[in-house]
Structure 1
């Protein structure tokens, strides 16, 4: 009997082991893994050009802001010597990567251009002809008030080399008087129509109180810039010629589109725009 009981107990123990019916220890309490603290990624830093003063205004015209021009030189590099001849210039002697924008005649009077210049604050010098502006003198008043240069381009836009010395003097001095009366400022700079001048022109400019005859190195056409140098590049101190072009000349484009194209071409070559009157 004792042998039977012992055998039964042994068989029961084996069965329990085989079926895995063992008494398990209570599972240890598990600590949840720590949740990483949320971090906020810093906002992407906007490009420097988007932080520049007036960046929003430039974007409205599809442009990037220009670098600020250097401070004007303490001594102007182009000066008419006392009693000397009026200098004739196409560029300003400088090593700075600056160019100068000049706009001639005054035929086109696009209101958008006034807004554009107010927004961008890019300095330009306006060489105005009375025959082109007399239909609307008031158009140029806000441009003068913005600080853009007022300059002389004769009364009627003749080829001065075909005129007598006295006729040249009337054209130049007459426009000095007109511009002074209309805008309260006497021009210091003169551009002969078509760039044509002779020594009689220089003498007349001097008699009329002008400080320089200003020609150019590049000219902005409707879509392209024309260069005088063979390398077809801007150079430090270059003077650029543009015009107040009308709709018939622009062939569906606007004065502001032409100006924006010119500004892009200047910027693409790594230049900025300075005020011509600060150097002459």
Structure 2
């Protein structure tokens, strides 16, 4: 081929760099191990009175899993949907109607990529001390909202602020709730805070990932989740789906 022809010949396209594996794209050094097959029957519910929901901040299991839970705030970070999808994170979102408002479309996308949607009441009141009718309206009302919007029937309730009383349990039972979900560890902008026990994650721990609003100027939702996942992996754990155990 002459020089002129060589100049006219199309050049080879540059090689594209290999695509990052999803776990690397989200700041992890290794993929999350797949969780084990969940138990044939929920573990924590075996010893509770059948008429009332269990109150749990930890699941009694030998499986090396912890559970990631979020209250409403994921709608502030649309890329969180991509993170959940690509890492196949079995997260649980506890939703309050008055807080989520127009963000319900975002949670439909989270539901479509594998997140669970659960009950956090209609208007986020502290339930403790409210009369039965008011508590039932808050819990059943949000149950009905979630069913109407998404076709789901939430069995798990997180009472706002973690505040509940015996009336809450009666109202929750009448709204089809099987477990009232608290947390043993909360992830804030400064790290994990444990409500009791040692300052280390244990198999079966329920972790609350707090809102960016609780720590303005701190790391965002995705960065907090990445830091938590690194710690989970570092302690030889992985992420399980909470409703599979409750």
TM-score tier, shorter chain, comes to 0.7 to 0.9
Indicate the residue corresponding to 2:169 in structure 1.
202
The reply to whether residue 97 of structure 1 matches residue 83 of structure 2 is: no
The reply to whether residue 177 of structure 1 matches residue 144 of structure 2 is: yes
2:39 to 62, 73, 89: 73
Shift of 1:253: 3.0
The reply to whether residue 124 of structure 1 matches residue 106 of structure 2 is: no
**Once the two structures are superposed, what CA deviation does each residue of 1:2-21 show, in whole Å capped at 9, x if it has no partner?**
xxxxxxxxxxxxxxxxxxxx
1:215 to 159, 163, 182: 182
The reply to whether residue 191 of structure 1 matches residue 158 of structure 2 is: yes
Indicate the residue corresponding to 1:60 in structure 2.
25
The reply to whether residue 241 of structure 1 matches residue 208 of structure 2 is: yes
**Once the two structures are superposed, what CA deviation does each residue of 1:5-38 show, in whole Å capped at 9, x if it has no partner?**
xxxxxxxxxxxxxxxxxxxxxxxxxxxxxxxxxx
Shift of 1:241: 0.8
Indicate the residue corresponding to 2:226 in structure 1.
260
8 Å CA contact 1:107–1:133 kept in 2: the answer is no
Summarize the Cα distance change of 1:108–1:249 in structure 2 as closer, same or farther, 3 Å threshold.
Answer: farther
Shift of 1:242: 1.3
8 Å CA contact 1:223–1:261 kept in 2: the answer is no
Shift of 1:244: 4.3
CA distance in 2, matches of 1:233, 1:77: 22
2:120 to 144, 153, 163: 153
Unaligned residue ranges in structure 2 (runs of 5+)? 1-18
Q: Which runs of 4+ in 1 moved over 6 A?
A: none
CA distance in 2, matches of 1:163, 1:105: 23
CA distance in 2, matches of 1:121, 1:192: 27
CA distance in 1, matches of 2:43, 2:155: 15
Unaligned residue ranges in structure 1 (runs of 5+)? 1-53
Indicate the residue corresponding to 1:85 in structure 2.
52
Shift of 1:229: 3.3
Indicate the residue corresponding to 2:4 in structure 1.
none
8 Å CA contact 2:88–2:114 kept in 1: the answer is no
Summarize the Cα distance change of 1:112–1:223 in structure 2 as closer, same or farther, 3 Å threshold.
Answer: farther
8 Å CA contact 2:156–2:177 kept in 1: the answer is yes
CA distance in 2, matches of 1:110, 1:96: 31
Shift of 1:249: 3.4
TM-score by length of 2: 0.86
8 Å CA contact 1:161–1:196 kept in 2: the answer is yes
Summarize the Cα distance change of 1:115–1:223 in structure 2 as closer, same or farther, 3 Å threshold.
Answer: farther
8 Å CA contact 2:55–2:182 kept in 1: the answer is yes
SS in 1 for 2:66: strand
